[in-house]
A and B are shown apart, each in its own frame.
Chain A
Amino acid sequence: MSTDTYENLRLELRRGCLVLAVMAALEHEQYGYTLRKALAERGLAVDEGTLYPLLRRLESRGLLASQWREEDKRNKRFYRLSDDGKRLLGQLLEEWKRIGASLNGILGGHLHGTG
Chain B
Amino acid sequence: MGLVDRYLHSVEFWLPKEQQKDILAELSEDIRCEIEEKERAKGQKLTDPEIEALLKQRGSPFRVAGRYLPQRYLIGPAFFPLYTLVLKAILLCYLVPWLVSWVAIVVFMPSYRAEHPGLSVIWTLEGLWTITLYAFALATLVVALLERSARGKGFADSWERKWNLPAPREPHRIPRGDAVGQFLGGIVFALWWLGIIHRPQIEGLQLDFAPAVYRYVYWPILAVVLASAALAALNLLKPHWTRGRLIARVVIRGAEATTSIAFLLIATPVLVHVSGASAAQEATLAEVANWIMRVTVAAIALFAIGDGIRGLWLLARGRHVTAGLPQAAGPRAI
Chain A residues at the B interface, C-beta cutoff of 8 Å: 31-33, 36, 47-50, 52-53, 56, 68, 74-77
Contacts and interface: CB of A to CB of B under 8 A. Distances in A.
B41 to A, nearest CB: 13
Nearest 8 pairs of A and B residues by beta carbon: A33-B33, A49-B67, A53-B67, A53-B68, A33-B30, A77-B26, A48-B30, A32-B30
Given A74-B29, A77-B25, 17 more contacts: A31-B29, A32-B26, A32-B29, A32-B30, A33-B33, A33-B34, A48-B30, A48-B58, A49-B59, A49-B63, A50-B67, A52-B23, A52-B26, A52-B27, A53-B68, A56-B68, A68-B25
Nearest to B65: A49
Contacts of A56: 68
B53 to A, nearest CB: 15
Interface residues of B, number: 15
A75 B68 contact: no
A33 B29 CA distance: 8
B26 to A, nearest CB: 5
**Interface of chain B, helix or strand or loop or mixed?**
helix
Contacts of B58: 47-49
Interface of B: 23, 25-27, 29-30, 32-34, 58-59, 63-64, 67-68
Contacts of A76: 29
A75 B58 CA distance: 22
26 contacts: A32-B26, A33-B33, A33-B34, A36-B30, A48-B30, A48-B58, A49-B58, A49-B59, A49-B63, A49-B64, A49-B67, A50-B67, A52-B26, A52-B27, A52-B30, A52-B67, A53-B67, A53-B68, A56-B68, A68-B25, A74-B29, A74-B32, A75-B29, A76-B29, A77-B25, A77-B29
Contacts of A47: 58
Nearest to B26: A77
A68 B28 CA distance: 14
A60 B58 CA distance: 24
Nearest to A50: B67
Contacts of B25: 68, 75, 77
B192 to A, nearest CB: 59
A110 to B, nearest CB: 21
A40 to B, nearest CB: 12
A15 B26 CA distance: 22
A59 to B, nearest CB: 11
Contact of B27 (A31, A48, A68, A74): A48
A15 to B, nearest CB: 13
B311 to A, nearest CB: 37
Nearest to A49: B67
Contacts of A31: 29
A36 B30 CA distance: 10
Contacts of A75: 25, 29
Interface centre among B27, B33, B68, by most chain A C-beta atoms within 10 angstroms, is: B33
Contacts of B30: 32-33, 36, 48, 52
A48 B27 CA distance: 8
A69 to B, nearest CB: 11
Contacts of A36: 30
Interface centre among A47, A48, A53, by most chain B C-beta atoms within 10 angstroms, is: A48
A79 to B, nearest CB: 10
Nearest to B63: A49
Interface centre among A47, A49, A74, A77, by most chain B C-beta atoms within 10 angstroms, is: A49
B201 to A, nearest CB: 69
